[in-house]
């Protein structure tokens, strides 16, 4: 009898953990998804804010609501829809409280897309962007778990360009898809890779893809 009878069991458990950890790009849905508890009251992010309004007013948001640029709402890539955040300008100290009801911004380096009303409250509607701190102050909306994270590699106006990039990605990654989005003035084809529970894993893939394909990927929540 082996003097270490539990080593095979431990090894098997370790292998299972490795398999689940790497399943993000294996084309399978994760066994579980992140919970709103992963973004508790007091959760903080710092980065650049932008705002959106022209061309989007009246469109349906990711939450299913109709976007009203005159209400205090915002888009965030990963926070649970319905999350209430306080946004503070790091340049002028102004604050505004908004509710997350949409996904975006799809620009690397920006952390939140405010409505026109939110941008006006921070006096950033003119400049267009501002350096901010956002803090979660409450939750609402849909209960339960959240969908997986995906890496959006690029977005194209021409379907052929999206298909060309998807073919290149499929040479290395198995879980590649093109999502067609109807915007008010144009149609966009978004190329996405992977399904992740861990934000760190998704960000690591985004960094790798940025260097491999000279793109600016962003991590988004697949609601």
Q: Give the chain's radius of gyration (CA, Å).
A: 20
Residue 12 maps to a domain:
no
Q: What is the model's pLDDT at position 5?
A: 42
Per the structure, the complete domain to which residue 76 belongs is given by 40-138
Question: Could you tell me the CATH number of the domain that includes residue 206?
Answer: 3.30.70.1070
**110 closest CA partner among 96, 128, 94, 93:** 128
Distance of CA 110 to the CA centre of its chain: 11
Query: Does 10 map to a domain?
Result: no
Answer yes or no: is 181 within a domain.
yes
> Are residues 129 and 172 located together in one domain of the fold?
no
Please indicate, yes or no, if residue 68 is contained in any of the structural domains: yes
Question: So what's the pLDDT on residue 28?
Answer: 45
User: Which one of 85, 118, 138 terminates a domain?
Assistant: 138
d(CA 23, CA 198): 11
Q: How many CA atoms lie within 13 A of 16 on its CB side?
A: 7
Could you give the 3-state DSSP secondary structure of residue 83? coil
Average pLDDT across each block of 10 residues of the chain; the chain has 223 residues. List them in order.
41 37 42 72 97 84 93 96 96 97 93 97 96 95 80 96 96 94 85 94 95 93 90
Number of domains in the chain: 2
Is 5 contained in some domain? no
């Amino acid at each position: 009898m082996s003097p270490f009878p539990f080593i095979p069991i431990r090894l098997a458990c370790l292998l299972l953990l490795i398999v689940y950890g790497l399943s993000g790009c294996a084309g399978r849905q994760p066994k579980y998804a992140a919970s709103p508890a992963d973004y508790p009251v007091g959760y903080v992010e710092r980065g650049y804010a932008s705002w959106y309004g022209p061309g989007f007013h009246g469109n349906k948001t990711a939450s299913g609501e109709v976007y009203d640029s005159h209400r205090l709402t915002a888009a965030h890539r990963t926070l649970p829809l319905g999350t209430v955040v306080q946004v503070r300008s790091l340049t002028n100290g102004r604050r505004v409280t908004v509710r997350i009801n949409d996904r975006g911004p799809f620009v690397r380096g920006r952390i939140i897309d405010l409505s026109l009303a939110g941008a006006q409250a921070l006096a950033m509607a003119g400049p267009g962007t501002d350096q901010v701190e956002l803090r979660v102050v409450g939750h609402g909306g849909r209960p339960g778990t959240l969908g997986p994270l995906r890496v959006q590699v690029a977005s194209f106006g021409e379907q052929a360009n999206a298909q060309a990039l998807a073919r290149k990605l499929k040479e290395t990654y198995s879980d590649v898809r093109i999502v067609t989005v109807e915007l008010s003035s144009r149609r966009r084809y978004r190329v996405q890779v992977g399904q992740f529970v861990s934000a760190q894993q998704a960000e690591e893939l985004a960094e790798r893809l940025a260097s491999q394909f000279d793109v600016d990927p962003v991590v988004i929540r697949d609601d």
